[in-house]
Amino acid sequence: MKISSIKALEVLDSRGNPTIRTFIGLDDGTVASSSVPSGASTGSHEAVELRDNDQKRYAGKGVLKAVNNVNNIIAPKLINLPLDELDKLEKLDELMIELDGTENKSGLGANAILSVSQALIKAAAASQKKPLWQFINQYYFSNVKPAFPKIMFNVVNGGKHAAWNFDIQEFIIIPQNNQPTESVRIGSEIYHAIQRNLKQKKLSILVGDEGGFSPALNNNEEVFQLIVEAANKIGYENGRDFNLAIDAAASEFFNNGKYEFKKENKTLTGDELINYYQGLKQKYDILSFEDPFAESDWENFAKFTALQKDTIVIGDDNYTTDPKLIKKGIEEKVTNAVLIKPNQIGTILETVTAIRIAKEADWKVVISHRSGETEDSFIADLAYAAGADFLKTGAPSRSERTAKYNRLLEIENRL
């Protein structure tokens, strides 16, 4: 079959900001679409998310430039090209990279390119009447057995995602069971137990960007105590039924070589922050630390990782789903896991390459959402198809988050 139409438009993400959605039509009548999310705390090496900067529309956040790049530059080059040849999807991604002509996708915009890249895969899968996960697995991961990831539920939001009520950006629970029916249930039950606990304490149950609660507690440790207490009330035990994890997003509180915990009114050196994390790990049995140091602080990343035996250290802002940076991280033993966000790099071809490199190094792979999300559930199929270790897509709340969890439930039920 051939590509018969490509049409992009401006839609809204979960924060009410514009993003891009692209529809792909094939000559057999198949139509598929895909939308692109947007991050708040972003790494400096991320591919460029093209915005209009026209203050008369959406306070400068419009994406009509990206839309026009799809409709007027990408579409004429791709329409009438075949989509059923064995390596055609990879070639189409390579063609878009060449069309862009920049290292960081600033020519056409990573958001423009990714919207097409994902929609092409959806269209190819639909045309072959295959579930999306199955097509992705057979096309990109033929030597990998599909497997359900453990789910990382962000149940309390802090940092840039919740007006800095805490310095740590995400407090996460990870159900031990990786079957979606069970893990989604456990995550939801603990989430609602936290809500009841907050109500009893007369604290706010308003939520942050990713659906997690953002109560006015005094410090980071009180959040762990809140979660464990709420879970215990309904019979769940930390370390047995679920694990705790954090995304520190430390680049956001790194200043002049030091780490500033504004909420707790203290400034820490890298070594002091390592000791702080080690204390949290021992006290609260924390399984995973994401971005515990600033993206440029590879030295302390490596120091911290070297101390860990059974703890996962995830790099996000320091790698930004870039295969070259991930290779460097592997060589220098900077972390033992990587966060994968397709919109950080801009094509599924490069995203898949990043996943393959990490898996070959026996690193843990975490497929992740962004704080400004859409209803698109592509990453759920990607996580299952790639046999990723974890899927991280927010709280069991808000439809742009639950769309991914619900998609895992559909896959589990072969729907």
Catalytic residues: 210, 341
Task: Give the Å distances, CA to CA, from 389 to 5, 239, 400.
Answer: 36, 18, 21
Q: Are 167 and 159 in contact (CB under 8 A)?
A: yes
Q: Helix 220-233 and helix 270-284: axis angle, to 10°?
A: 10
User: Rounded to the nearest 10 degrees, how much is the dihedral formed by the CA atoms of 378, 381, 384, 385?
Assistant: -110
Q: From CA 343, how far away is CA 328, in angstroms rounded?
A: 20
Q: Are 162 and 208 in contact (CB under 8 A)?
A: yes
Q: From CA 369, how far away is CA 172, in angstroms rounded?
A: 14
CA torsion sign, 278 to 282 to 284 to 285? Answer: positive
Q: From CA 129, how far away is CA 188, in angstroms rounded?
A: 32
Task: Give the Å distances, CA to CA, from 58 to 17, 121, 163, 246.
Answer: 7, 30, 21, 32
Beta bridge partners of 175: 242
Q: From CA 153, how far away is CA 224, in angstroms rounded?
A: 14
Which residues, in sequence order, are CB contacts of 401 under 8 Å at separation 6+? Answer: 210, 211, 369, 373, 393, 394, 395
Maximum distance among all Cα pairs of the chain, rounded to whole angstroms? 62
CA torsion sign, 294 to 295 to 298 to 304? Answer: positive
Q: Are 248 and 261 in contact (CB under 8 A)?
A: no
Q: Are 340 and 354 in contact (CB under 8 A)?
A: yes
Question: Is residue 64 helix, strand or coil?
Answer: helix
Q: From CA 13, how far away is CA 400, in angstroms rounded?
A: 9
